[in-house]
A and B are shown apart, each in its own frame.
Chain A
């Protein structure tokens, strides 16, 4: 694998926890890999399965879904819905024989800047090992 290979990772962050956590990581000058492209959503419950699938089929090497820890959702139960939706996506990927490691669900709270830096770095390394998403080269999609 080319050591210069930089994955393209789309991260959906919920406004109240994960995005604030990412913001704090930035303020604290923690090192966040440049492979992460963040998209802020008001709640992780807003992440429609279609968002994830679109990112994946348009060639994103990894898609991260991030939200508040269970029980901490600003809207009480949005992240529980996210979790079920992720289970559905995970199952679809498994059944359709797609690379399920390319999508993932993480809980990151507003104060967990350390954790945000850790999971983004770890996931980037994991995706680096996997290599580019085959759909980025696939024409007939």
Chain B
């Protein structure tokens, strides 16, 4: 990459450690409340439980008294936060200051959308937090109480649980985003829920901590150690995960078989933060033909499947967004026929992103792989391979 920042952002040594005796969620909400009261922000974008229901949603909170609805760590990811942020920030710059409390995968989606000009980050402070994962939405909807209890247990222990969504179990970016994505990170690890650690990840975040009079005097070492431990465990799992899926897919018709139950509802596309096109080719009239065309096709093959383009939709969507896929798992939650969409996309994105040495949503400055190039790259794919032909000439 030509204009990619080469040096890695190093996790700062100092932050603020706050006691979480009152409960983690309470402490996080108190910080945001304080910031709102001191007019550091005009509004906070935060997940909230719809009163007297089990439903979770996003709210742009301006009235401090409504903080009781807010839940910084809901057991499920209903709407992807990147999408929520894009829905109100894509049409122009905001004059007011807004804080957005998002899971790391949601922040990364927001950064990808920022690169695609679907999110305007001016005056928006992105706050990430250690994410234990999320429970499958269908499990939560069928038994909210039990799922909540299970989630609470996971949150206390910070251990892997089979009841989490599969992509969450192997998530590599569950904590501090090592780059210029977020402004402030809230570490829940470290002393296992007794403390929370505020780590600034941008000058904006550091200023915020100073304005809140927290400063950056405390060592974040404890949080860092625990985070690293958890990261190591997850790395072990991802290799096995990718290998297993690769094996499954590489069987004859492996990929097609996985997607055969698809009912063409396009939910995966509608919930995907990266599928931002206003008019999707697959929803357009461009794929509709006169009935004779279908009869002809059916005659050629002996039969024709309806609705059309099931596999083309999935592979086509993959080709369009896989390099920006943050493996948030929203697609799998939305699938009514339980296709492991996000697991497959996660495996494929892992392979393809590696080829471009790109991890989506890490740095605001990194160009999207398909919008960037250098002249001397990937020469091995072209016929003739010109880089190597030209190289001696240029040496002269």
Contacts and interface: CB of A to CB of B under 8 A. Distances in A.
Contacts of A53: 312, 315-316, 319
A81 B370 contact: yes
Interface in A12-66: 49-50, 53-54, 57
Contacts of B387: 70
Contacts of A88: 319, 322-323, 352, 355-356, 369-370
Interface string A83-122: 1111111111011111000001111000000000001000
Contact of A139 (B305, B312, B322): B305
A46 B229 CA distance: 46
Contacts, number: 115
B383 A77 contact: no
Interface residues of B, number: 46
B316 A50 contact: yes
Given A80-B375, A140-B256, A57 B319 contact: no
A49 B315 CA distance: 10
Contacts of B305: 139-141
A71 interface: yes
Contact of B382 (A49, A54, A98, A105): A105
Contacts of B319: 49-50, 53, 88-89, 92
B375 A57 contact: no
A13 to B, nearest CB: 15
Contacts of B386: 69-70, 107
Interface in B338-394: 347-348, 351-352, 355-356, 369-373, 375, 377-378, 381-384, 386-387
A50 B348 CA distance: 17
B369 A84 contact: yes
B66 interface: no
B373 A80 contact: yes
A71 B375 contact: yes
Interface string B319-341: 11011000000000000000000
A140 to B, nearest CB: 5
B235 interface: no
23 contacts: A49-B319, A50-B319, A53-B315, A57-B311, A70-B387, A85-B370, A87-B355, A88-B323, A88-B356, A89-B319, A91-B351, A96-B348, A97-B250, A97-B254, A107-B382, A107-B386, A119-B383, A137-B301, A138-B301, A139-B302, A140-B260, A141-B305, A141-B312
Q: Which 5 A-B pairs have the closest CB atoms?
A: A49-B319, A80-B373, A97-B250, A95-B351, A96-B255
Given A53-B319, A92-B322, A139-B301, 10 more contacts: A57-B312, A70-B375, A71-B375, A80-B375, A83-B381, A95-B249, A97-B251, A106-B383, A107-B386, A140-B310
